[in-house]
Amino acid sequence: MSHNTFGHLFRVTTWGESHGPALGCVVDGCPPGLTFTSADIQSFLDRRKPGQSRFVTQRREADEVRILSGVMPSPDGQGHTTTGTPVSLLIENTDQRSKDYGEIARQYRPGHADYTYDVKYGIRDYRGGGRSSARETAARVAAGALARLVVPGVTIRGALVQIGKHRIDRSRFDWAEVERNPFFCPDPGTVPVWEDYLDGIRKAGSSVGAVVEVVADGVPAGLGAPLYGKLDQDIASLLMSINAVKGVEIGNGFEAAEITGEENADEMRMGNDGKPLFLSNHAGGILGGISTGAPIVARFAVKPTSSILTPRQSIDADGQQVEVRTKGRHDPCVGIRAVPVGEAMLACAIADHYLRDRGQTGRLK
């Protein structure tokens, strides 16, 4: 299975399966001289790790990261400093339960990657889905933690803005709220609604989709490489590479199709700080594939988890008709744990483009 690498100068390769001994990533091209502690990386992995509430999979993984290469002790002795050589990060799998997957070893879960992996490779790691499992996204989050260090002054945050048909009330959007509830929900008023709704979904053995919003503040103007390395193009590609993502929009996205040019125009004025100021941000911080300096805003739609208890019609590897009922521990709404993953992919896209911009234009912004 090829294509496990993304990025040009900040180049990430992930490896490992859901039920193998470990998984991880190699970040090649990480600039030298970045200083961080293991806890800096761990804090992002902790936000993604399973088993943290009744609304996510009950698989128990500590997701403790080990740094194997590419660093030396930092001058203060408290952490690590990158040397510019490949940084290898390892996360052990400790709570595999392969027997849960015995029944689906030869059956194709509708909506999952079982059929397509089989038809393409002729062999499939059915234990937890192997590489199609979102366990792999732990490695992306670890790489994203390093990517966040690359561009000075950038803040990357994510939030869940919709579960099923239940959207947040944007007038109550509060980033501080995101870390106070198990949904990464920025609207305290929506939390009890989601709690009730997801409890029902979970008890019924069902699942539901969601929408995640990710935002990067402080990205300098000028990142992006038109025509075929546009910043929005690369962000969309990386977000779309996350398991279960079925749609991506930048800025106002599909809403742009419904409004007029006057409404959509992000008018400009000179700000008091002598820098251009956009009076709105329908463009999501990107024009012509290049960052404007305004916040970069992207949203992605995550489909409902395909592994559900409700029996669904399918076929097995012999072409026999079967009814599939997936046991095991699954996320009733994968959108929740996709929030830190989306942040990581946005961070990697921006880090890569920052280095590419410096490579081409040769100047600091």
Ligand X SMILES: Cc1cc2nc3c(=O)[nH]c(=O)nc-3n(C[C@H](O)[C@H](O)[C@H](O)COP(=O)(O)O)c2cc1C
Residue ranges at the known binding site for FMN: 131-133, 243-244, 288, 303-307, 329
User: Interface with ligand X by CB under 6 A: which range of 132-140, 161-169, 215-223, 311-319?
Assistant: 132-140
Nearer to ligand X, 193 or 309 (CB): 309
Tokens of 346: 């946005």
CA 82 to CA 267: how far, in whole Å? Answer: 42
User: Interface with ligand X by CB under 6 A: which range of 198-206, 214-222, 327-335, 350-358?
Assistant: 327-335
The reply to whether 177 sits near ligand X by the rule CB under 6 A is no
Nearer to ligand X, 8 or 312 (CB): 312
Tokens of 93: 């799998």
How do beta strands 268-270 and 290-291 pair? unpaired
Q: What share of the chain is helix, strand, coil (3-state, %, to 5)?
A: 30, 25, 45
Task: Show the DSSP H helices in the chain as ranges.
Answer: 38-48, 114-121, 137-147, 175-178, 191-203, 231-240, 261-264, 335-361
Which of the 8 DSSP states describes residue 130? G
User: Interface with ligand X by CB under 6 A: which range of 16-24, 99-107, 130-138, 177-185?
Assistant: 130-138
103: left (phi over 0), alpha (psi -120 to 50) or beta: alpha
The reply to whether 163 sits near ligand X by the rule CB under 6 A is no
The site for ligand X, by CB under 6 A, has a size of 20
Nearer to ligand X, 47 or 337 (CB): 337
The reply to whether 19 sits near ligand X by the rule CB under 6 A is no
Enumerate the known binding-site residues.
48, 54, 131-133, 243-244, 288, 303-307, 329
The reply to whether 252 sits near ligand X by the rule CB under 6 A is no
CA R_g for the chain? 21
- Which of 128, 140, 111 shows the shortest CA–CA distance to 45? 140
Q: Assign 158 to helix, strand or coil.
A: strand
Q: How far is CA 208 from CA 66, 181, 300, in A?
A: 34, 18, 15
Site for ligand X in 46-65 (CB under 6 A): 57
Nearer to ligand X, 50 or 251 (CB): 50
Which residues partner with 36 through β-bridges?
80
The reply to whether 346 sits near ligand X by the rule CB under 6 A is no
The reply to whether 314 sits near ligand X by the rule CB under 6 A is no
Nearer to ligand X, 303 or 327 (CB): 303
Among 23, 67, 324, 338, binds ligand X (CB under 6 A): 338
Site for ligand X in 266-305 (CB under 6 A): 303, 305
How far apart are CB 173 and ligand X at their closest, in Å?
23
Among 212, 341, 345, 351, binds ligand X (CB under 6 A): 341
Nearer to ligand X, 106 or 303 (CB): 303
The binding track of 98-127 with respect to ligand X, each residue x by CB under 6 A or -, is --------------xx--------------
CA 120 to CA 126: how far, in whole Å? Answer: 14
Tokens of 90: 């390892």
Rounded to the nearest 10 degrees, how much is the dihedral formed by the CA atoms of 319, 322, 326, 332? Answer: 100
Among 242, 344, 347, 350, binds ligand X (CB under 6 A): 242
Q: Give the footprint of ligand X on this chain (CB under 6 A).
A: 57, 112-113, 132-134, 137, 242-244, 303, 305-307, 330-331, 334, 337-338, 341
